[in-house]
Amino acid sequence: MQMRLTIVYEEAGDLVQASVAELPGAISLGKTREEARANLEEAIEMVLEGNRLLAGDAAGEREEVEFRTA
């Protein structure tokens, strides 16, 4: 599955902050845009894993699905 995400870059002092618009909490820093973007992979994985753990506390039936994004 491929998903298209929007990366927002902002200056943060001497660093560049990269965040994913569609995934609040997925934020990274780097000395350059390229470095900040590369660091986002781990940030995205961490946010998704955290969300899975939180969802595990909720009651109800579960089903994992793959979907195609627009």
Considering only residues 14 and 3, tell me which one the structure prediction assigns the higher pLDDT: 14
pLDDT tier at 1 (50, 70, 90 boundaries)? Answer: low
Query: Is position 26 within any domain?
Result: yes
Given this model, what pLDDT does residue 70 score?
A: 54
Residue 46 structure tokens: 């961490």
CA 3 to each of CA 51, 53, 60: distance values in angstroms, whole numbers, following the listed order? 17, 22, 27
Q: What is the largest CA-CA distance in the chain?
A: 47
Q: Is residue 27 in a domain?
A: yes
Residue 66 lies in a domain: no
pLDDT band at 7 (very low <50, low <70, confident <90, very high): very high
How many distinct structural domains can be found in the chain? 1
Q: Is residue 37 part of a domain?
A: yes
Residue 13 lies in a domain: yes
pLDDT digit string, tens, across residues 13-67: 999 999 999 999 999 999 999 999 999 999 999 998 898 888 877 767 777 777 6
| Domain of 42, in residue numbers | 7-56
Any residues with CB less than 8 A from the CB of 45 and at least 6 apart, and which?
A: none
pLDDT, position 14 = 97
* Residue 68: inside a domain: no
In a domain, 64, yes or no: no
Within a domain: residue 50? yes
